[in-house]
Each structure stands twice: as structure tokens, then as C-alpha cells.
Structure 1
């Protein structure tokens, strides 16, 4: 992965420069920091000075050229977990003003299809069709690995001053967990929940489950450092799948019955089968992970146990706004998940660290 450093043009008297630094994908594995025009914004959009942009496994797929409906190579800036401060607003925008700190929803549906009007805009039927209004920042349109980014007013949330950029980056991730629970009709007060995968999504979702009244949250993973962080963040018990059979241990911790709800956030190809084996009869499984390829599990076993299975994508259903409220109250802690900071000029090194798992990166952020 190649990269080059440039310096943005000085800002004119209005405070917004004409040019900026941005990471542009020129081909698979070829991400370069170059100088581009500061993007223009429409009447229903705002221009944001990016404070920080998180990087994740989805970005690796994008960088490798394996993600659908991205803009052409040589024109496209990835980055879908960003936060910052508004510097300009479109002519129709009165909900925000320059100086507002904001976090985002990555997905902005078209607003006109049957899914969007019922709140399922991460499953927009016009996904990728910018002509009909769909935007997925950093995926189907330019994103936040840049000094400035444009976003639609309907997919922004104002942040209280006491929340840091690190907190804000993880709020979008927490929205993913909240939307998954929403989809799975997650009235989990007094229930037992198992979360597979102590990555960013799993750790934020585990916190959400405790906030929503789960009696017991069990976190399953393979890296003890992440399991220890889960304990600090409030989960009740952890299972190290490198040291013990996770199915046997979860059943032991649940009196042989299994959890009411199993959340699969690991993306491990063998984990869906483990989820079926641990979940109690009549229970639920929620899949929020993406997988490197096809997975195989015993569907007949799930049917025999009368397990209901759900999937969800991204942070739909207005759940980022709920995540903002939880973070503002102190109930969700995102900053503790950020393990690495890199300046924009070192974005290639940042992705090398993620790919090679050097230093056990949990959430890596890019600071333009």
C-alpha cells in the first residue's frame, strides 16, 4: 500500500480552504494521500471539518477492491466512521450551525423507497443510486479519510461538548448494536445474553445489553486483553475460546440451558454453529457480523430448537441518536476502545497494523 504526504493549501479569509488533503484509492491496495478540492455541498447538506475517522475490517475489504458499488478508482476517498465540526451549512439547513460538533450515520437512505419510509434505510432499495438520493459515506460516496467531508443533514447528530472525538467515532458503532437489538425485538430485561466477538461492535453491543437491563452478559473471544476490557466495561463473565470449549463453558455458565439471546459479532466462520449450539430452546440469534466467505452451520439443529434468527446491517432505525444519549449519560464508553492514533499521512501504516494485528489493535483512528 503506497502513500504520499501533502500539505493543504492555506485557508482564505473565510476560514475554509479551497484545497485539502485526502486519502484516495487508486486501485486495490493503492491508497495515497493527495491534494483535492474541498468538496461542495448541496442545499440539504453540511460541510464538516473531520476531527477523526475510525478504520475497521470493512475498510480492508474496500482497500482490497472487494466491496460493491464504490466510486471509481482514482476518485474515491473511503472512511465511514467519522466525526467532526460543521464549518458550513446548505441553504435549506436550519437544524445545525457552523461550530456544532457532530457524529454521523454512515447510511443515508433515499428516503423514498418502501424500506426507507419504515426506517430500514440501511437496506435502502436504491442502495448506491446517488441520483435517487442514496448515500453511504466512505462506501458509495466519498468519506472521512480527509480533512473535510460532506454529509446530508438527515444523518447527523449533534454531540454534547463533553464527549471526545474518540467517543464520537464509537457512537456510530454502538448504533449498529442498538439497531440489531431493535431488529431482534430485543426486550432483554432480566435475560441472559451471550456476545461472540469482543471487537468494537461486540464490546459496544455488550455495553448496550447491560444498559438495556440484561441480567447477565457473557462475552466470548480469543484475545484475553479484549475480554479483560469487556469486564472493565461491565460485562458479567468472559470465556476465552483459546483456553476452553466455548460451547461447553457457556452452557456451564447458564446452568445447561443456554442464553436467551446470542449475538454473533465476531465474523468467524465457525461461530454461527457455536451460536446454534449454545442458544437455549426457543431463544434468538442475532447476526451483526460480516464474514470472509460462505459459512456452514446446522440449520436443522436451529429448527429443532425453535431458534429465531435475525440479521441487521449497520446503524438504522435512528439508533445512533439513542447511542448519543447513552454516551452523553456515561452509560456507553467508547474512548477506551481506541488503541491506536495515526495522522492521515500514515494511513498506509495504520492499515498495515490492522491487517497484521500488530500491537493488538482494537479501534484504529485516523486524524486528518
Structure 2
């Protein structure tokens, strides 16, 4: 079968001689119609970071990335529940940048697609479910001001879900260095957009939200929650989003949700955590049921994922697809492994 094979940082190439998988016990095989390039895939592509977690290794040793995909069940193994050949499904598991991929049957990795949702939309289910978990962990209260760092597909999903769930936050500020992504963030539900390339992001947020003073800490912007979907990119200039988040949160009761991956270790001024009694929460994935919830938000029309899909490529152009996703202007790049 055809698959994208990762060889080294900056080098990923198509192959047409990868062995087609079989459904093992508790698995189905999915014919992949659409697979997204994730931010974590880009970390691996740039630096090799987290490589061991982001590929499916075949028996011959090929490393196939891709973990956000949708397609059709073509084979069902023993102990695979009531799944049937021909069902449309969303899958989450390594190896999705291939014509076929094995997927374990459990609610975290396999869920049926509702009618009216396309394969392209469904390939963005996992990022939206990630956003649902971040919002659940953040426990945003009505009127609280929120900052979202990084408005690629993950951050935009946070904004879409925040609006769709009717949480009633105060100011919702998107921060990114891409003007096109910031424009999309405003359409997705942000009330304000801040580009650090244009000036001091901390001052810009303070001007929007106002400041508050507290015992033992300097005056700070009145931000209750920062959701960090950017993480740490070695090539980016200026303070890391987590550092800005600690300075940006209000004097007490602030929370930062860390989702974006880190390409390297980071020196950081941690004193604001003590002075402001900040809660730092990591978020990795989603809870059972949030994949299905994400699909229902799409099926109901409460979120529009189609507008976030900026580029589509056949598997043969996987190298160009990764370069496009990393170019700073793309929102979501999809691969179509079975495109004619």
C-alpha cells in the first residue's frame, strides 16, 4: 500500500511498497479518506521531537506518522465489538498517513461519524476534542477574561467550542504571530486579536482587560485563564507563551492550561506562580465521550470546521504538505491517502 514514511527531521517521503495491515484482536482496519497534520507532527518534522510517540512502526521498520484521520472500516478483527465493514469512522492512532491503518476499538480511538459530517471535517475531530478537554479543565466562569496562545487548528477549536458551549466568558483574546490566523480567530469567536510582532503583548492584553493589584504581587492584567496551544518552538523569538502567561494572569485565582508541545527545555521565571498562586494544569488528549461530543457539535452546525481546512494534498505530495503546514499561514493541512 501507499504510505508516508518519516526518515529524519525535514525528510518525509511517500512509499508505495508498505505492507497493508491486518485487523488484530480488538482492532479494525480503516481505509483513510483524510488525515490531518498535527502540530506535534510538525515538532517531529522540524527537530525529531517526540518521534517515538508519533509514528506507527511496521514489521519492516517503516515509521508512518499521522493520528487525526477519518475513513471507512474495511476489516474487523475478533473481539472488535459491533463494528461492521463499511461504517464511516473517526480514528485516533498512529499511522494514519497511509491508505490503511489498524485502529484499536475503544472510545478514545474509534468513534462512528454522524450523518452530514464529511471525511475532511471528521479528520479535525481529535483537535476539537482536545479543545473540549482544555475548556473543561479551565472551568471558565461567566465574565472571566481568557487568553488563547496559538490559534492554529487547536486554538481555533478552543475558540469555537467556547462559543458553542455558551460559557459566557468576558474578553477572549487570541495571540499569534500570523495575521491570517488571527483573522480566523476573530471569526471563530475571539473578541480581540494580539500579534506579538506588532508590540508588547503583555501591555496589549492589559489595555484590553485592565489590571488588578494583589498582596505580594505586582499589578497584572485581569486575565483569569490562559490556554497555551503554542508550547515552545525553538525558532520563535521572544519569551515563551508560558512565561508570558505567568506574567499575564491576575494576582490570584489564575489558571494556565498547557497543551502545546515543547521542542526543548526552557528557562523560566517561576516566581509569579508563587506570588499569584497560579494553578498550572497540563492537558493531553481528551476524556471518553469528547470525540463523540466534538462530532455532534459539527453535525449540529454549532461549529464549522470546513473553514479551517486551508490545504489538501494527495499522499504523493506529503513533503510539500508538511512544508505548507509549517509555513505559518496554513490553518489545517489534510492528506488524502486514497485520492485518485
For the aligned pair, the TM-score class normalised by the smaller chain equals 0.7 to 0.9
Contact 2:103–2:110 (CA under 8 A) maintained in structure 1: yes
Aligned to 1:364: 333
In the aligned structure 1, how far is the partner of 2:132 from the partner of 2:17? 37
Matched residue SS, 2:271: helix
Structure 1 residue 228 and structure 2 residue 183: aligned?
Answer: yes
Q: CA 1:289 to 1:101, structure 2 compared with 1: closer, same or farther past 3 Å?
A: same
Contact 2:114–2:296 (CA under 8 A) maintained in structure 1: no
Aligned to 1:204: 157
- Displaced runs of 4 or more, over 4 A: none
- C-alpha displacement of 1:320: 1.6
In structure 1, list runs of 5 or more residues that go unmatched.
1-19, 107-136
Residue 34 of structure 2, aligned match among 52, 73, 79: 52
Matched residue SS, 1:179: helix
- C-alpha displacement of 1:162: 1.0
Aligned to 2:235: none
Contact 1:188–1:209 (CA under 8 A) maintained in structure 2: no
Contact 1:219–1:230 (CA under 8 A) maintained in structure 2: yes
The number of residue pairs the alignment matches comes to 311
Contact 2:43–2:263 (CA under 8 A) maintained in structure 1: no
- C-alpha displacement of 1:38: 2.0
| RMSD, aligned α-carbons | 2.1
Aligned to 2:86: 99
Structure 1 residue 301 and structure 2 residue 277: aligned?
Answer: no
Q: CA 1:87 to 1:188, structure 2 compared with 1: closer, same or farther past 3 Å?
A: farther
- Map residues 168-247 of structure 1 onto 2, 5 A cutoff: 168-184=122-138, 186-212=139-165, 213-216=167-170, 217-247=172-202
Aligned to 1:292: 263
Q: CA 1:240 to 1:54, structure 2 compared with 1: closer, same or farther past 3 Å?
A: same
Aligned to 1:13: none
- C-alpha displacement of 1:152: 1.1
Contact 1:26–1:32 (CA under 8 A) maintained in structure 2: no
Contact 1:193–1:209 (CA under 8 A) maintained in structure 2: no
- Map residues 1-368 of structure 1 onto 2, 5 A cutoff: 20-28=1-9, 29-63=11-45, 65-66=48-49, 67-68=51-52, 70=55, 71=57, 74-104=61-91, 106=92, 137-138=93-94, 143-154=95-106, 155-184=109-138, 186-212=139-165, 213-216=167-170, 217-257=172-212, 258-268=222-232, 270-281=240-251, 282-355=253-326, 357=327, 360-368=329-337
- C-alpha displacement of 1:211: 2.6
- 1:210-235 CA-to-partner distances (Å, cap 9, x unmatched) read 23313232111111111111111222
In structure 2, list runs of 5 or more residues that go unmatched.
213-221, 233-238
Farther-moved stretch of structure 1 (21-30 vs 208-217): 21-30
- 1:231-284 CA-to-partner distances (Å, cap 9, x unmatched) read 112222212222232111112211224221111112245211111111112211
Q: CA 1:41 to 1:225, structure 2 compared with 1: closer, same or farther past 3 Å?
A: same
Contact 1:51–1:85 (CA under 8 A) maintained in structure 2: yes
In the aligned structure 2, how far is the partner of 1:235 from the partner of 1:65? 33
Contact 1:264–1:272 (CA under 8 A) maintained in structure 2: yes
- 1:187-209 CA-to-partner distances (Å, cap 9, x unmatched) read 43442211011111111112222
In the aligned structure 2, how far is the partner of 1:333 from the partner of 1:236? 18
In the aligned structure 2, how far is the partner of 1:319 from the partner of 1:150? 21
Structure-1-length-normalised TM-score: 0.78
Aligned to 2:215: none
- C-alpha displacement of 1:79: 0.9
In the aligned structure 1, how far is the partner of 2:188 from the partner of 2:48? 35
Matched residue SS, 2:114: coil
In the aligned structure 2, how far is the partner of 1:65 from the partner of 1:265? 19
